[in-house]
Chain A
Amino acid sequence: MASLLKKLGSFAAGATLLFAASAALAKPLTVGFAQTGAESAWRTANTNSMKSEAEKRGINLKFADGQGKQENQIRAVRTFVTQGVDAIVLAPIVETGWEPVLREAKRAKIPVVIMDRKVQTSDESLYACFIGSDFYKEGAMAAEWIAKNAGSRSKIVELQGTPGSAAANERRKAFADELAKNPALKIIDSQSGDFRRSGGKEVMEAFLKKHGKDIEIVYAHNDDMALGAIQAIEEAGLKPGKDILIVSIDAIKEGVQAVVDGKINAVVECNPLFGPKIYDTIAKIKAGEPVERSSYNVDIVIDSTNAAALIGQRQY
C-alpha cells in the first residue's frame, strides 16, 4: 500500500513538473484543420504543406479528412470546438450550410480561417478571414502571357475544366475578359476536358481533326489536360510548344518539366502550399492584430526563362 502511494506521489510530482515545463515553454498552439478530402494531387500537396509547416513551427495540428462530404467536415469542426482548439482552418467542400457550426465556433471564441474556397454566410463575423487561390487572376495571367508572346499567332482553342466548378468558371471568364482587350486574339473553339488528362487528349484529338492547322495556341485550364493535349498533338505529327503554343494553369511538377522540355510554353502557378500564410495569419489573429478580410496566395508565371531554375524545388 505504501509503495503504491509512493508511486502515485511520484507520478503526481512528475505530472506537475511536466505541466510547469510546458507552461514555461509558452503552450504550443493547437490548430484543427478540416480538409475536403484527397481528391487530387493539388489537394495532397495542400495537406502536406499544412502538416509539414505545423511540424516546423511546433504547432499541434489536428487533421480531419472530410472524404468529400460536408457532414464529415461539420462533424470535424464541431469536435474541434468541443476540444477547445486555439484556431480552426476549414477548406469547405461547398459554399453553403456552414452557419450553425461556425456560430458554435464563434460562441466558443475560436477563430476560423476559411481556406481555398469561399463560404456564404449572412454574418461575416462568423469567420476570421478567407485565404484562397485567385482563379480569376490565374486566367488573366495566362491571357497576358499569350498577348505578350504569341507574336503573329492568334487562333486559340480552350480546354475547359469541369463545367460549373469555380476554377473552370473563373479561369474561363478571366481569359475571355483579357482577350477582349486584344482583338487580334480569338478563341476558335472551347470544350471541356473535365480537368482530366484523358479528357484533354480526347478533346484535342477532335479539335485537330476539326480545325487542322488553324490551331495556333492551346489554353488549358489545368496541366493535366495540357499534358493530354500534348500527346494528341504529337500523334497528329505536330510539335507541341513549337507548331502550337501551349499555356496551362496549376504548375504541377510534370507541367513544369514539360516547360523545361519545351512542350508547354508557359504555366501559371496555382500554389497549394498554404501552410506558411495560414499559420502566419493565425499567429496574427492570436496576437490581436488585424488581418485582411480576404487574401490570396501569390502565384507566378513559369516559362522557358525560369522553369529550369524552379523545377528542382517543385514539391508536387
Chain B
Amino acid sequence: MASLKDIKRKVGAVQKTKQITRAMNMVAASKFKASQLRMENFRPYASKFMDVLNSLALRVESMSHPLLAVRDPRRIRVICMTSDRGLCGGFNTNLIKSTERFLKDKTKEDKEISLINVGRKGRDFFRKKANIIGQWVDVLSKFDMTLAVSISNDVIVPFIKEEYDELYLVYNQFVNVSVQRPTVVRLFPLPSIGQDVDIDPDKRLDYLYEPSEEALLQKLLPMYVHVLVYRALLETSAGENGARMAAMDNATNNCEELIRSLTLKMNKARQAAITAELMDIVGGTEALSKG
C-alpha cells in the first residue's frame, strides 16, 4: 500500500490539474461565446449575399465561369481545416480520421491528391503522409475575412489555371456546443447555384444591372467562395472551443472523482497507521504488565 505521504502528494497534484482544466474550461467558454457572436454577425451578410446570388443566377440563362468548369476529376485538392491547438477532445482526431478515409478512397480511384492544411494539428499529422502544397498555421486564434480571402485566392487561381480539377473542403460542421460533425464538401467546381431555390416571383425585384448580369455574376462567384471558406473557419473556431469546453468539463469532473477516491484511500491509510500504532502500544503495555 502506498504510503500516506505519497497519496497526499498525489491529491495535491490532481487538485492542481483540476484548477488548470477548470480555468481552461472557462477560457474556452468565453472564446466560444465570442465565436458564436461572430457567427451570428455573419448571418445577415451570408443570407443577403445568397439572396442576391440566387436571384442573379436565376436571371442568367447559362452560367459560364471558370469556377464552374467541370473537368475529368483526375487531380484532386483537399483543404483540411483543423484547429491550431489541442486539448479539445476528439475534435481534431475525428476530422483527421475522416480526411484520411476520404484521401484513401480517392487514392484507390487513382487520383492525384494534393493537400492544403489550415490549422496546426492537421499539418502536424499529415506532414509526412501526404503531398502538402499549402498550409495556414497559427491563424485561427484571431482571423477575419482577409484570411478567408487569402485562402480562397490560393485555391481559385490554380483552379482557373487548370492545375487541378476538383477541390474538396473537410471541416467540422458546427451542430451545437457538444456536437461537431466532420463534413466533406466539394468547393470546385462550384455546385450550380440557384437551381433548387424557389424565390417568390413577386418578391423578385427587377433591377437595373450595372455591369451586365453575367459580368456581375463573375464578380460575385469568387466572393461566394470567400463566404463559404469564412463560414467554415467560423464553424471550426466555434466547434473547437465548444469541444474544448466539453473536454475540459469532463476532465474537471474526472479530477473530482479521482480526488474523492484518493482522499478515501488516504483516510484509510491514516486509519491503518493509527491502528497499527495503537496495537504497538497495547502490545507494549501488555508485555510490561506480564513481566
- A is bound by B: no
Residues of B within 8 A of A (CB): none
Binding site for B on A (CB under 8 A): none
